[in-house]
Amino acid sequence: MKDFDYCAPDNLQAATALLAEHGDRARVLAGGTDIIVQLREGLRSADCVVDIKNIPELMVLDYSSSQGLTLGASTSCHRVYTHAELPTAYAALVDASKIVGGWQIQTRASVGGNLCNSSPAADTIPALIVHQASCQIHGPDGSRDVPVADFCTGPGQNILQSGELLVTLQLPAPAANSSSAYERFIPRNEMDIAVAGAASWIQLDSSGETIEDARIALAAVAPTPVLATEAAESLRGKPANEESFAAAGELAKNVASPIDDMRGTTEYRVHLSSVLTRRTLARALARIQQGQG
Amino acid sequence: MGTKQLVSTTINGEPSQFLCEARQSLLEVLRNETGLTGCKEGCNNGNCGACTVMLDGQPVNSCLVLGLEVDGKEIQTVEGIAQENELHAVQQCFLEGAALQCGICTPGFIVAAKALLDENPLASEEEIRFQLAGNLCRCTGYDKIIRAVMEAGKQMAETTTS
C-alpha cells in the first residue's frame, strides 16, 4: 500500500479541519472494509487517512420508540443487528446489516460507511431509504441535513463536498402497524455483492387488511439505489395481499435500468426487481401480522 | 510518511508494543513485527477470513485493520487459544475430525469458530455455516470443518452444564 499519514482526531472540529486542509487528498477511515481495500488496490488514494472512530458523535446508537434512531456514521453493522429493539423497529436495515459481507466484516463495517462508499449495490442504502433516513453532514461551512434518498449521485459518487463528513443518520420513529424487509439476489449463499436488491416498507390501516402507505427502494439495478415511487404509491388503499404485491413488483421494473455484466444480464436483473419487491412486501406484511411491526 | 509510530496493545493477555508505519495492516504487524504467524494472508481484501483475529472480543479480518488502529486494544490470535499446553475443544475436534488439509484457513476458522461457540455452543449447522461464511477453505469442502465445530460446541455445552 502506498504510504499515508494517519490521524485519529477525537472531536468533530479537528476532523473537519483535517478534511478541509487536505481536500481530496484525505480519506475518512471508519470500519476500513472498503477504503483499505481501495487504497491497497489503487482505486482510491490518500495522503492523509482520518480515523473517525474516536469521535463520540460518530459512534452513537441511540434508539427510542418515540424519538427514533440516531446512528453514528461509524457505528458497526454488528451493533445494529445485535441491538434488542432495532430488528423490530427497522427490520429492513437489520436484514441488510446482517448480510454486508460476513461476520468479520460486520464487526467493523459501518452503515454510514456503506452509504458513503455509495456503491449502487450497497445493501443498507435501500433500507435506509425506505426508513426515510436523513444524513447529518458537518463541514467547514457548518452543518446540513440531506435525505438519504438524495445522497448518492452515481457509482461511488455522492453529495459530500470536499471537507465534509457524515456524522449521523437519523431514522424517524417507527409508525404503528408497519414493518419492512430487505432481500437481495446473489449467486452464492453469502458474501456476494447484490445482483439485485429490494427494500420494502408498508403500513396497514387499523383493520390490518388495507395498505395505508408503502415505500420501495431497489439496489444494483441503476447507477444509484433508486426509489420505486410509482410502485409504492400504487399500493395505497390496496388490499394487503399477493395480488397487490405482484402488481407493485411489475411497476417496480420501470425504475430498473441495470447494466449487463458477469453477475447478471439486464433482463435478469429487471426480472429480479419484481420478484424481490414482491417478496419483501410479503415479508413486511408477515412481520406486521406476527406482531413484529 | 514512512515514519513509524509506537503502538501499545495486549496480545493474548500479554502487554505488547510494536512500531509500525501507517500503511501496515494488523495482519502484517502480527506476522512481521510480533512473530505471531498464525494468522495468514489469503486474499488481503476481507473475503477469505484466513487472517481472522479477535479485536476487543470481536472477530475481524486483520488485513482490513491498520496496525495503528489497535493502540490500547486487546487482541487474541490463534496462538492464544490453547491453555497451558491443553488444546481448546475446537482445536481438538479439528484434529480428531481431520477438519484440515493444507491448514492455511485453519487458524482463521479456529478463531472464528471459538468466538461463535463461546456465544452459542449449540448453534445449528445452518447457523454455523452462515456465521462462518467469512472463512473460506479450498481443500476440505467444509463438511469436516462444520462437523468439527458442531462436535466442539456439544463438548463446550456439556462442560458448562456439568
Closest CA to A234 of A219, A258, A214: A214
pTM: 0.97
> Please, which residues have CB within 8 angstroms of residue B128's CB and are 6 or more apart in sequence?
B113, B116, B146, B149, B150, B153
Please identify, among B27, B48, B80, the residue that sits at the C-terminal boundary of a domain: B80
Interface pTM, i.e. ipTM: 0.97
Q: Helix B89-96 crosses helix B143-161 at what angle (to 10 degrees)?
A: 140
Digit-coded pLDDT (tens) for B87-126: 999 999 999 999 999 999 999 999 999 999 999 999 999 9
CATH number at residue B25: 3.10.20.30
Which residue out of A39, A43, A104, A193 would a mutagenesis test of the B interface target, given it has the greatest number of B Cβ atoms within 10 Å? A104
Whole-number pLDDT of residue B1: 57
d(CA A254, CA B117): 46
pLDDT category at B2 given cuts 50, 70, 90 is: confident
Q: Residue B113 burial by CB count (10 A; 0-12/13-18/19+): exposed, middle or buried?
A: buried
Q: Would you identify the CATH topology of the domain A178-289?
A: Enolase-like; domain 1 (3.30.390)
How far apart, in Å, do the first and last CA atoms of chain A sit? Answer: 47
Whole-number pLDDT of residue A1: 87
Same-domain status, B98 and B146 = yes
Nearest CA-CA distance, residue A33 and chain B, Å: 6
In the predicted model, residues of chain A with pLDDT beneath 70 are 292-293
Note down the domain range covering B147.
Answer: 89-161
Q: How many domains does chain B have?
A: 2
Closest CA to A220 of A273, A182, A262: A273
Q: Which of B45, B59, B130 minimises the CB distance to A37?
A: B45
Q: Which of B22, B63, B133 minimises the CB distance to A191?
A: B133
Instruction: Inform me whether the C-beta atom of residue B83 falls under 8 Å from chain A C-beta atoms.
Output: no
Nearest CA-CA distance, residue B83 and chain A, Å: 24
> Please, which residues have CB within 8 angstroms of residue A120's CB and are 6 or more apart in sequence?
A152, A155, A219, A220, A221, A222, A223, A224, A225
Whole-number pLDDT of residue B162: 57
What residue ranges do the domains of chain A occupy? 5-49, 57-171, 178-289
Alpha-carbon Rg of chain B, whole angstroms?
16
Q: Which residue has the higher pLDDT, B162 or B140?
A: B140
Nearest CA-CA distance, residue A140 and chain B, Å: 26
Same-domain status, B69 and B134 = no
- Which cell is A92 given? 429492513
Residue B53 has pLDDT above 90, yes or no: yes
**A-chain residues near B58 (CB < 8 A):** 78, 107
Whole-number pLDDT of residue B17: 97
State how far the alpha carbon of A213 is from the alpha carbons of A179, A265, A286, in Å.
11, 32, 16
Q: Do A37 and B52 touch (CB under 8 A)?
A: no
**A-chain residues near B65 (CB < 8 A):** 32, 108
Which H helix or E strand runs over A215? strand A211-219
* Among the four given CATH numbers 3.30.465.10, 3.40.50.11720, 3.40.50.720, 1.10.3720.10, the one describing domain A57-171: 3.30.465.10
Average pLDDT for B21-46: 98
Report domain A5-49's class: alpha beta
State how far the alpha carbon of A66 is from the alpha carbons of A57, A70, A174, A259, in Å.
20, 12, 8, 41
Average pLDDT for B38-67: 98
Please identify, among B54, B80, B106, the residue that sits at the C-terminal boundary of a domain: B80
Q: Which of B46, B130, B135 minimises the CB distance to A37?
A: B46
